[in-house]
Amino acid sequence: MDKKKILVIDDEPDILKVTSIRLKTLGYDVLTAVDGRQALDTMRSENPDLVLLDLVMPFMNGAEVCEQIKNDKVLKHVPVILFTASGSAAMTDRKVKEFAADDYIVKPFDPEEFRIKVEKILAQGANL
């Protein structure tokens, strides 16, 4: 079975590093992007199985990136987990619905909760 590819989009180098290490430890191939434009280019060339998307980024924020993903007929099947450092659970739940994302993870994340959410979303994608 092929390793699942996960694209992590975040403009904070430390977050990219920690998240990448965690995902690689869990057995995933990891791609990274530091802004929305780079993320969309990487998605089109690499076809990831899952996207972890920071909401606050330069050039194009996470909401704009998520909207472009979900409105693109080639990319819209890729699940998106919002990666956010702020907000209440109710506000974040609202953002997930508003942006048509699949879930969210609050930074800094609990490693076990992170693993569970990633596995859950990837399993759902495999059942489509």
Q: Which domains are delineated in the chain?
A: 5-123 (3.40.50.2300)
Stated pTM of the model: 0.91
Going by C-alpha positions, the residue among 65, 71, 67 that lies closest to residue 35 is 65
At 59, list the tokens.
Answer: 């050039």
What's the pLDDT at 89? Answer: 63
User: Is there a contact between 8 and 49 (Cβ–Cβ < 8 Å)?
Assistant: no
What pLDDT tens digit does each residue of the chain (128 aa) get? 579 999 999 999 999 999 999 999 999 999 999 999 999 999 999 999 999 999 888 888 888 999 999 999 999 999 999 988 766 666 677 778 888 899 988 888 889 999 999 999 999 876 54
Peptide bond into 13 cis (omega under 30): no
